[in-house]
Structure 1
Amino acid sequence: MKTSVRTIFNEGDGHAVLMLHGLSSSPLELRYLARFLSDEGFTTCVPVLEGYTAGSREQSMEQWLEAATREYDALAERYERVSICGLSIGAALALALVHRRPRAQSVALLSLTLAYDGWAIPWYRFLLNWAYYSPLRSRYRYRESAPYGLRNDALRAKIARAMERDDFSEVGPSTISLPALHEASRLAACVRSQLRGIRNDCLIVHAIDDETSSPRNPRFVASSIGSAFLRTIWLDDSYHMITSDNEREIVARETALFLRESEIASRTGDAGGKPVVSKALARRLRQLAAMGKGRA
């Protein structure tokens, strides 16, 4: 059985948020966040992107960006402000889009993935780009496995059952093709070269223990992006799928707060906002420091 894939759209005020899901997945990944932002008054749109969303014929990263650009332009014609939010590879796509459309109000990067380098990624991952140029290209599919991006045990068990029944679940696809992974790598390489030219307000939310995308990803972006208003939030009770996991409410609240602060700052002419380090990260750093002293 295949779950239907459809765009999520909620009408709100004049600040629209274009939300981009993860690679070969569906808008379901961002359903909770879209609903929360809608309740806060934002217009939210989580589109189906041809060639990128599950169930559509796979295409190149240039075509992913074209599809996302069309969605952005459609919102920009109707709403005073448009911000862009992306999850995982969708966050990399959001960066490419905001580089193309610098008039976007702001960009929110959730579990940003420029490299699959988390602790659960198999050792042979680096070989897959080579395999793309072999006969494996049309046969190999990377299969998702536990923990499925989730620290929450009950939700993880639910997703494991869903993965057995369907091609994808609310936290992503059961498998990802080699061509899709290759295009994601190409997208990431493109984004790395564009970061210094991106000056839009930027929010980064990432789990310290992300098993798919290590903290090196957001740290690289935070140190390279040209944003004057940059906020970084670290989570300590989630894995990769932070929009569904234990701290999804924190992710939703921080995203809504950032979007409104960005909007207000642009109206008042205040570039505002010093980089923020969350209490979760400060607590974890104290714990690590204490462990280091104990071993000394």
Structure 2
Amino acid sequence: MIQQTDFFFEGGRSGVLLIHGLTGTPMEMRLLGKGLNKAGFTVHGMQLAGHCGDANDLLATGWRDWYASVEAAADTMLTKVDHLFVGGLSMGALLALKLAADRPQQIAGVGVYGATFRYDGWSIPRMARLSFLLPLLKKVGIGRGRSFMEQPPYGIRDERLRAQVSTAMLSGDSAAAGLPGNPWYSLAEMYGLAADVRRQLPQVSSPCLVAHASEDDVASVKNAELVMREVNAPTELLLLDDSYHMITIDKQRRTLIERSATFFGSIAEASDAQRAAA
């Protein structure tokens, strides 16, 4: 059964919509959300459709359902703030970029955290690196009950935190730590989303803070370089050298919070100044 785990922190008239990753949970965005709220932002850590339940709950949805839940959350946020920023981790970064591409007049800036177009990090087994073939397998009906199980270090460099997260995940507490594996069909959906977003990158005109672990175990820095190269927007690159994939909770999360708050805040201030001068 799906549990509701999203969060909302009331703040000022600049808001940030935070989007977690595939098989993940809003909990992976909560520390970032608290930090941004402390800096004055209104923050909503949304929950993607089909997530925070079991594998069957997730398999009942696809990427269009996940994106529809992002759009609904953005619509709600737009009634509460003057400037809307969106930030996403891993697959959530792709959904954030798609929202910016589709709604250039509504999205003031994007936090692209550990963007994952392909699972090509150093900890990904060779077999799993062929997961881009999964859309074909799904099309012919092969492998619906199969999953790629998460492997150590689970995207986390901080060993104590890794132990806590892996214990929760392997115990079946998907609301706290997400699912322990990625269902093949859900990964196939993720690759469908990735292909769609990659085509849309030139339509992204909102400024982007592209943050990535330099030693990302799940998605190599090539994913960040793709965003930097293809978007039609000002970009700022933040490489984190003491974190793995889950940069929103890992060792350098405070650096990510500070840079995100500064990046979003400067955009909002410039917009307000321009509006006042008009």
Equivalences, count: 267
Aligned twin of 1:61: 63
Structure number, greater radius of gyration: 1
Aligned twin of 1:99: 101
Aligned twin of 2:22: 23
Deviation, 1:115, is 0.9
Aligned twin of 2:226: 220
Indicate whether 1:43 and 2:45 are aligned.
no
Indicate whether 1:201 and 2:207 are aligned.
yes
Indicate which of 232, 240, 254 corresponds to 1:235.
Answer: 240
- Which residue type is aligned with residue 30 of structure 1? M
Q: Is the 8 A contact 1:25 1:172 kept in 2?
A: yes
Distance 1:112 1:94 in 2: 10
CA RMSD of aligned residues (A): 1.9
Indicate whether 1:183 and 2:189 are aligned.
yes
Q: Is the 8 A contact 1:92 1:191 kept in 2?
A: yes
Go from structure 1 to structure 2 and tell me whether the alpha carbon gap of 1:212 and 1:239 turns closer, same or farther (over 3 Å shift). same
Structure 2 gap segments, 5+ residues each:
none
Indicate whether 1:115 and 2:118 are aligned.
yes
CA deviation digits over 1:206-235, x for unaligned, max 9?
00000101000010110110113x111001
Distance 1:76 1:59 in 2: 25
TM-score in terms of structure 1 length: 0.85
CA deviation digits over 1:220-262, x for unaligned, max 9?
110110113x111001000000111111111111111111011
Distance 2:73 2:21 in 1: 16
Distance 1:32 1:66 in 2: 25
Go from structure 1 to structure 2 and tell me whether the alpha carbon gap of 1:255 and 1:170 turns closer, same or farther (over 3 Å shift). farther
After superposing the two structures, state which structure 1 stretch, 69-78 or 166-175, moved more. Answer: 166-175
Distance 2:15 2:48 in 1: 18
Structure 1 gap segments, 5+ residues each:
271-296
SS in structure 2 opposite 1:132? Answer: helix
- Which residue type is aligned with residue 142 of structure 1? F
Q: Is the 8 A contact 1:213 1:240 kept in 2?
A: yes
Aligned twin of 1:173: 179
Deviation, 1:101, is 1.4
Q: Is the 8 A contact 1:117 1:214 kept in 2?
A: yes
Distance 1:170 1:252 in 2: 21
Which one has more relative contact order, counting CA pairs under 8 Å at least 6 apart? Answer: 2
- Which residue type is aligned with residue 25 of structure 1? G
TM-score in terms of structure 2 length: 0.90
Indicate whether 1:124 and 2:150 are aligned.
no
Deviation, 1:166, is 2.0
Distance 1:145 1:247 in 2: 21
CA deviation digits over 1:137-168, x for unaligned, max 9?
32101111210101111112222222221243
Indicate which of 211, 218, 224 corresponds to 2:217.
Answer: 211
Distance 1:198 1:135 in 2: 34
